[in-house]
Structures are given as structure tokens and as C-alpha cells.
Structure 1
Amino acid sequence: MESVGIALILLVAVVLSGTLSRLSPVAIPLPLIQIALGVLIATVFGAGVELQPEVFFLLFLPPLLFLDGWRIPKEGLFRDRAVILELALGLVVLTVLGVGVLIKWMIPSMPLPVAFALAAIVSPTDPIAVSAIAARVPIPKRLMHILEGESLLNDASGLVCMQLAVAAALTGVFSLTSAFGTFLWLAIGGIAIGAGVTLVVTKVKDYVSHKLGEEPGSQILISLLIPFGAYLLAEHFHCSGILAAVAAGIAMSYAEQTGQALGVTRVRRGAVWDTMQFALNGIIFVLFGEQLPKIISGAAKVVTETGHMHPAWLLGYVLAINIALGLLRFAWVWVSLRFTLFRAARQGRTMYKPHWRLLAATSLAGVRGAITLAGILTLPLAMNDGTPFPARDLAIFLAAGVIVFSLIAASISLPFLLHNLELPPEPSARQEEDIARIAAAEAAIRAIEKHQHALGQGRTDADIYSDVGARLMELYRRRIEGSKTGDDAETARMMADVDRRLRLAALRAERDEFFRLGRTRVVSDEIIRRLVREIDLAEARYNLSS
């Protein structure tokens, strides 16, 4: 019962953090509020949560990485693949080597493999934390897509590098050739298993649904189980469960494009996954805050091992690591931009040269978050011989300090750097949307013509089908004409916006009346729930189109 009570307290703290974030007059990052609530829980309730690294890793990382792979915009990922790969792979390797050597130089008592493990786990970035910081200052879409793509890949590369470093710390043996071979096996095997699990499960699921019908609750539960299945299967074959979860998510996004699932399943599943993401990210940071007093205490005890007697040196280490991360990231972004401009000039292309503030924003947007925290908490408690893992508390504290410092630095600097910044031109999504709407309207007209003839054939009231079909087709033809012409297109968009606003007002009025009828017992609760569900789905549709 104690564990159930702790889980409920953590969830209440996550809910409360969202409320406090909205009430705050200044843009305080949500993760910082959740960390503060965790510290408060530890202060009030005393006894801390005993975290088992393997269980913590399994519960939190697979679903978060799976969802990142599922929802990341693929067109942005492929368009900026060169930049994303440079940041997600090249910068991670540079960070592991550069920051790892710096940590070892500053803290000679920390074993080199542990220093590299710490450097590896602070290399992944967290776009969710960035979007929380910049909620009141819009981040350029293309920059956000690059950050999302980088985060998706550097989560995997950073965590795999950490696993290799931890293995070297446990065994005391490290071979570059062996590490490279292990990395290939981890990566290729993990990706293949993750994609394979998703494809097999979705094929079986679609076959069963086609034969027996689709039940939304089962479909949602299957989507929740896929990342755990991919992760556990990959780990069973000593591959990367992390990459398996990411690959499973990317494969899921392509499987979704077959359109096999019912609309109601997609709506309910999206809500469940949004809740899951919010809860897991929040619990990670609340747990971090709850563990923070114990982490600080443990780090203060081992700080004397570094050759310094005062715990204040811990803050100096955190500051030095953050400065190193920022300088390495800025240098890498600058060199990458110069290389891209040089390559474009050789090909005869003219490219937009971004302002230095955009480069600085890209560097400072490399905020560390949930993945770094989840990864560092999975450091082993003991070595293979049973002795305590060296400098574990100190490594956890330094990673935690990097997270907090990067959140604060980004929340202060990003609004300034992005304010009134002239941004590089981005490809317009309006033209693509118009093409899609025209094609969909033409397909709808063909379907209406086909079905109205089939439904009305041989009936005495066939003219009813013709009249209804004609009215529907006229709506679609007006959409097509409005999308094809210049001024008319803008007028059509304005009319669509007015139509959306009026429909939303009408839907709210309908729903209020349904609730009134339910309260006065004029209509049964069962019927009211069904009618309100229809209104909610329609309202969600019009809100999504805004």
C-alpha cells in the first residue's frame, strides 16, 4: 500500500505542477516547478523512494522514446537530415570525449569510464523542456523540427554511449574495436527488432480487426504494450532496447498511414498517449526533486574525494560542465553552418545566412531533461564484486545540476534571443494543405456520386438521395474552387474561419442544453453521454482545424 500511496502523491504533484505553471505570472519552465514539488514532498514526507535502476529505465524510457519516434515530423527529419545527424551523432561523440576528459581533469578521483558515462548522459537534449520554456516566445518551426529530430537520435546515441562506458567501468576493460562492434550490434539489432515488432503486431492486429471487428480499448492497450515488447525483446538478444523503442515508434507512424484504425480509436488513443507523456515526464522530474536532498547529501560526502573540502566546489563543477557543453555546441553549430554554406556555394546555390542570435538560440536550446535524468538514475548501485559503484552520487548530482542550470539559462536567454528575430524563410505549408484538401474533396465527390446511385437505385424515394448528394457535392466543389484561385482562396479561408467559429458556438450551446436536460432528468444519462460524446468529437475536429 505504501508504494501505491507514493504513486498517487507523485501523480497529484504532476497535476498540481500544471496548475502552478499556468498561474505563474512569469514563464517558469514546468520541469523546474515539478522538481520544486518533489523537494517539498521529500521535506514533508521524509522517507525517499528507493529507485531500482533497471525498473526505472524500463518503466519510463521505452514509452517516451516510442512516442517521440511516432510523432516526430518525418518531412522535417528528412529535409534537415544532414544537420540532424551532425548534431545527434557527431556532436554526441565530441561531447562524450571533450566533456569526459574535462570531468576527469577536474575530478581525478572519478574513474575515466564513469566520467565518460556522465558526459554521455548529459549529451541528449529535450525538446519538450524547450517548448515549455518558449511557450510565450514562439520558436521557429524549422528550428523546433531540428531540435526534435536531434533529440530523437541523440537520446539513443547518448544512452548507448553511456551503456558502453558503464560496461567498461564494471569490467575494467575497454577495446575500441570491440566497442565499435558492440555498437553496431546494439544499433542494427535494436533498430531491426523495434521495427519488426511494430510491423508484426500491427499486421496481426489489422487481420484480427478485419475478421472480428475493432475494439478501441484493445487497440489502445496494444499501442501501449508495443514499446515495452520491443525494448524487452531487444534486451533479451543483447541489442539496444532504446533504439528498439525509437525504431518501433517510427515504424508505428508509417503503419498508421495505412488508415486501418477507426477514427474513434485514433481520437481516444491520442488522448491516452498525451496523458501518458505528461504523466511520465512529470513523474520523472518530481522523483528527481524527491531524490535531490539525498543526492546533495551523498555528493557533499564524496566531494572531499575530489581534493576539495568545501561542498561549494560542486557548483563550480556544474558551471564548468555547462559552459563546456554550451561552447562545444556553439562551435559545432557554427562549423556545421560554415560547411553547409561552403557546400552550397560550390553547388551554385544561394543560402540564407542566419543571424548570430539564431545560432546562439540553437546552442542554448540544447536543454537537458527527462532522458538525461532517467539515464543517470540507472547507474548501477554496485560493481560486479559487490563494492559500491564509484562516485555514483556525485555523477547523479552533476547531471542533475546540468539539467537545472540548462533549464534556467534557456528560460532567461531564449526569449531575449528570439524576440523580433528575423528568421530564415520556411517553406509554406498552405500550398501543401490546399493540394491535400483539393485532392480529398475530389475523392469525396467521386464517393458521393458512386454511393448515391447505389443507395437510390430502384427506390421510389431516389430523388432524396440525389438532392442530399447534390448539396454535399456543392460544398466540396466550393472548397475546390476556393483553393484554386488567389483572392477567392483568401476569402474562402476567411469564410471557413467564420464558419468554424459559428459552428463551435453552436456546438457549445447544444452541449449546454444536453447537460440541462440531463440535470432536469428530461433525458436519461445514457443518451446524454452519447450525445455529448458526439459534440465533443465534432468540437475537437473544428479546434484541430484552427
Structure 2
Amino acid sequence: MDILISTLVILFTTNLAMVFQKAYFHKISVNYVALFFGMILGLVPLLNNLVEDFQSEVFMELIVAPLLFFEGQNTQLYYVKRFWKSIVGLTVVMIVIIELVAGFSLYYLTGMNMAFCFLLAAIATPTDATAGESVTHGLKVPRKVVYYLRNESLFNDASGLVLLAMMVSWYVNKNLVIIKSISQLFIAVIGGIALGIISSLLLAMIRQRTMQSSSLEDSSFSLNTPVQIAYLMTPFLLYFLAEEIHVSGVITVVVAGLVHNAEHQRSKLTNPQMVFVGNQLSNIFTDVLNGSVFVILGLVLVRLLEEDIFNSQTIMAILVGILLYVINILIRYLYTFLTEFRHNQKKAWTFSLGGVHGAVTFALAYTLTEETIKLSDIHFALLASSTLIILSMVVPTIVFRFLLPKKVADLDQIKEMRKVRKDMVEYAMLELDKIYLPEALRRQLLYDLKAQLDEVSMKDFLKEMNTTVRRPDLKPHDREFRDEVYRYAFRLERNYLGQIAQSEQKYREGFLKLYRETLMAEILFLGTKED
């Protein structure tokens, strides 16, 4: 029951953060709002007590695994194959350089235990593509940089996990075993790749057979449901299976996501309804899970600071977090400046700053609570990693406003799309005035078209709702006539959008969103069985 209550509180807080971001803070990323709401959750004793203590294993299985799976599904396997040499360089060579430079720098500058310094450096290596989108909100990022950041974040988590395991062993056993750790990394990665490919191909073949048969049957809805459930369970099951057989669960779910992307590209028309619903479910899951990460981060940060905010150890942890961030930024810049971007300073700085730390860094720090590590060192690592995460979000958010060009301003696009929507609805209304319609149907249709413009008052809504409750079901032929009229109205709207499409290229994103809305509206009146 306690776990259920904790989950509900975090989900509710995440949902509240997303609502507030849309309504009041649309100029900034939802991750910042979620972080703020998480801190509020931690500052209110009654709410804070409802959330159980954090467990890194649960966090990895229930949040990180599906996030990586869905992120992999948004990445084309073609680009992974094309940039595989760069991926190896960024996720192995660059990670090792950062580990060495950061570890020795901390050791010589702070005088702390060497094993603990390298342990902290290992925690600071993974990046998060989903969190990275928060710092480029409303900005244009070079396409090649986007590919590199996405591919890096997909695969460097495994390197971070292995490095951390190596450094924890060094810290606990006072012995650094390099050869054994490298062989374990090799087995974990190769095993994860093999398991991800085999399992996802098997699931894809089963899903394709089901989709092909269900698209031809009247009972397709009953078949779609178990397929979608199996799809949502895939990252959880694969991650658990991989960890049980001691291969990389992170690599397994990433590779499975990449294979799912390839399947998705060539099966959109096999069963469009199933594909569309699957896309919507994955988008919802990604938004909720990513928001939950920052709600939890804000909550944990408050809990950490409440313990000993004025302690000298706490100040040192914050300074170490700053140092780790600076070292990461400099090494990332120098490495890509010399190897990947051919001495292009702007792209190198964009890549360097765009490596935002998020869910995996947070989870790695919390795995220390399950090891035989001194409590003071665990607290130190948690606070240092939290500082690193926050800096990796705040600094690029500020710098990118001067470094990168802006997309079409959100307010300008919203204003233009409101005008287009209004003109579209008015065009449909004028065309509908040219044909005969029963008065009751015309009134209902005009109400629904005005609802597209948000020009319906609560009084009008309650009146229509009361009319609907008191009205008997339409006869089949009346329902079909009504549906045909509505479909005609939506076709008129799309015709208008088609006429102005060329003039709206500047606002293409908003224009396409509006076009999708009219298509979905028409779908609602295709073969409806209920009034």
C-alpha cells in the first residue's frame, strides 16, 4: 500500500507540473517545473511522508528501462550503423578520458580517497537525451549534433554502469581489477546486443502475425489490446531478463527499441489503428516517466539538504559537483572539436553543453545505498551528483539562448494558428450554409464547430449536455446521415488548409498539428456505433 501511495503522489505531482507548464510556464521546459514541484513536495511534511524512500533498482527497472526503450524506438537504426565509430569513440574512449581526468583531478585537488574520487567520476559519465531536450526548448540545434547526442546517451549508460561497478569494487575491496572489469563489460555489451536483437525480432514476428490477422477480422479490437499490453511490458520484461542472466539490461532495451523502430517504419499500414495507439501510448509514457524523474530529483534534493545544509561536507560536495561538471564540459568540447566536428567550435560547444545528466546519473548515485559504503560518502555522492544534474540543465539553458538560433516563437505560432483555425471553421460554416440541413442538426453542428475555437461557454456546454441526456438514440439511418454531414464539414476544413498550405510553411509544425486534428475529428464519425 505504501508503494502504491508513493506512486500515486509522484504521478499526481508530475501531472500537476505538466498542467502548470502548459498553462503558465510554456516558455520553459516541463523538467524545470517538475523539479520545482518535487521540491515543494519535499518541503510539505504531510506530502513528503507519503513518499517512500527511494530505491535505485526499482528506479532503473520502472523508469530508466522504459525511457531508454522508447528513446531507442525514436532513433533510426540506420544512423546508429552510420555513426558506429563515433558512438564507440563517444561512449568508450571519451568516457574513459573523462573518468581518468576527473578522478585524478578530484584526488589532487581535494585529497579525498582515490577510489572514492574515481567512483564520483564514474557517476558523472552518463547523459540523458530526454532531459537534454529541456535545454534546447524553442531552439534550433544542428542535425548532426542531435544525432551524436542521442546516440551517445543511448549507449554511454552501459559504460557508466560498468565503470561504477569497477570503482565500487575498488572502494570496498581496496583492489582495482581492470582486466576482469573490461571482460565483464565486453560480455555485458555483446550479451545485451544479442538478447535485444533476438528477443525484439521474435516479438516483432509475433506482433506482425497478430496485426495482419487482426486487421482482417471484425474482432480486431480484442486482438489489439493484448498486443498493446505486450508492447508496453516489453522494456520491463527485457530489462529484468537481461539482469537475471547478467548481461546489460540497458543495452538490451536500447537495442530492442532500435529494432522496434525498424519494424514500425515498415508496418504503419498493416494495422494503422494499432500503430497510432502505440505511438500515443509511448508518448504518454515518455512524458510521464521523464517528468517523474525530475519530481523525484527535487524531492530527494530537499531531503538531502534538510539533513545538514550548513555542514562543511555539504559545501565540499557541491564544489565537487561543480568541478565534475566543468571537467565533463571541457573534455567533451576538446574531444569532439578535435575528432568529430572538424574544428567547428559552435558544434563542439553545442554538443559539450547538450550532454545533460538526468535519470541514469541519479540512479547510479543511489545504487551506492545498496553497497557497503560509508553513509557520509553516500550522502556526499548524492549531493555532488544532484549539483551536477542541476548545473547540466541550468548552464546550457542560459548559454544556448546566445549560441543557438531560435525557432519560430511559440507565441507567434500560437497566434497564427488561432487565426488559421478561425478562418478554417468560418470557411466550413459558410459552405455548410449552402446546403439544406435539419435545424436541430445544424445547431448541433455549429456548436461543435465553435467548440474547435474554444468559443463555447460553460452555460452552453451544460445546455448541450442536458439536451444529449434527454434526447433518445438516433435511428441507424439518422445516425449515418449525421456522421456524413460531420465528415463533410471536416473535409471542408481540410480543403481550406490545403488551399493555404504553401503560405504557412513558416508555421509548418502548428499547421500539421491542426491538419491532424481535423483528420482525427473525422475518424470519430466513421462507423460510430453509439450516438
Shift of 1:265: 0.8
For 2:292, the equivalent position in structure 1 comes to 283
Q: Residue 296 of structure 1 aligns with which residue? A: 305
Which secondary structure state, in structure 2, belongs to the residue aligned with residue 312 of structure 1? helix
Do the aligned residues in 2 keep the contact of 1:195 with 1:247 (CA within 8 Å)?
yes
For 2:61 and 2:333, the matched residues in 1 are separated by 33
Does the aligned pair in 2 maintain the 1:77–1:149 contact within 8 Å?
A: yes
Summarize the Cα distance change of 1:20–1:241 in structure 2 as closer, same or farther, 3 Å threshold. Answer: same
Q: Deviations over 1:40-86 (max 9, x none)?
A: 11111342531222222211121111111111134444444443432
Work out whether residues 164 and 179 of structure 1, in 8 Å CA contact, stay in contact via their aligned partners in 2. Answer: yes
**Residue number in structure 2 paired with 1:244:** 252
Question: 1:471-490 CA deviation, whole Å, 9 max, x = no partner?
Answer: xxxxxxxxxxxxxxxxxxxx
1:15 maps to what in 2? 15
- Counterpart pick for 2:135 among 130, 133, 136: 133
Secondary structure of 2:295's counterpart equals: helix
- Give the unaligned 5+ runs of structure 2: 408-419, 430-443, 452-460, 495-511, 520-531
Q: Distance in 1 between matches of 2:183 and 2:427?
A: 61
> Does the 8 Å CA contact 2:196/2:252 hold for their aligned counterparts?
yes
**Alignment partners' CA distance in 2, 1:121 and 1:505:** 58
Distance in structure 1 (CA, Å) of the matches to 2:129 and 2:427: 35
How far apart, CA to CA, are the structure 2 residues paired with 1:193 and 1:541?
41
Which residue matches 2:368? 379
Match of residue 351 from structure 2: 362
Q: Which residue of 1 aligns with 2:262?
A: 254
Name the SS of the counterpart of 2:179 in structure 1.
helix
Deviation at 1:312, TM superposition (A): 3.0
Partner in structure 2 of residue 419 of structure 1: 405
- 2:240 maps to 232
CA-based RMSD: 3.8
Matched, 1:162 2:188: no
Matched, 1:317 2:303: no
- Deviates most, 164-173 or 517-526: 517-526
What is residue 467 of structure 2 aligned with on the other side? 520
Which range is displaced more, 321-330 or 258-267? 258-267
Contact 1:197 1:248 (8 Å CA) reproduced: yes
1:327 aligns to what SS in structure 2? Answer: helix
Rounded to whole Å, the distance in 2 between the matches of 1:510 and 1:241 is 54
Opposite residue 291 of structure 1, the aligned amino acid is V
Give the secondary structure class of the aligned counterpart of 2:35: helix
Q: Which amino acid aligns with 1:398?
A: A
Partner Cα distance (2:450, 2:348) in 1: 53
Q: What is the match of residue 334 of structure 1?
A: 337
The alpha carbon displacement at 1:398 in A equals: 0.5
Report if aligned partners of 1:299, 1:397 keep a CA contact under 8 Å in 2: no
Q: Secondary structure at the match of 2:125?
A: coil
Answer with 204-213 or 125-134: which moved more: 204-213
1:218-229 aligned at under 5 Å gives the runs 218-229=226-237
Partners of 1:518 and 1:525 within 8 A in 2: no
1:136 alignment partner, SS class: coil
Q: Superposed, which structure 2 residues align to 1:416-455 within 5 Å?
A: 416-419=402-405
Choose which of 267, 274, 283 in structure 2 pairs with 1:274: 283
C-alpha distance after superposition, 1:388-412 (max 9, x if no partner): 4661111111111001011110110
**Mapped partners of 1:164, 1:234: distance in 2:** 19
Q: Distance in 2 between matches of 1:292 and 1:116?
A: 23
Deviates more, 1:10-19 or 1:400-409: 10-19
Compared CA separation, residues 395 and 74, structure 1 to 2 (3 A): same
Say whether 1:395 aligns with 2:397: no
Aligned twin of 2:414: none
Partner of residue 408 from structure 1, selected from 394, 397, 414? 394
1:92 alignment counterpart: 95
Q: Where do 5+ consecutive residues of structure 1 fail to align?
A: 304-308, 342-352, 422-497
Contact 2:145 2:350 (8 Å CA) reproduced: no
Q: CA deviation at 1:267?
A: 1.1
Confirm or deny: 8 A CA contact 2:329 2:352 kept in the other structure.
yes
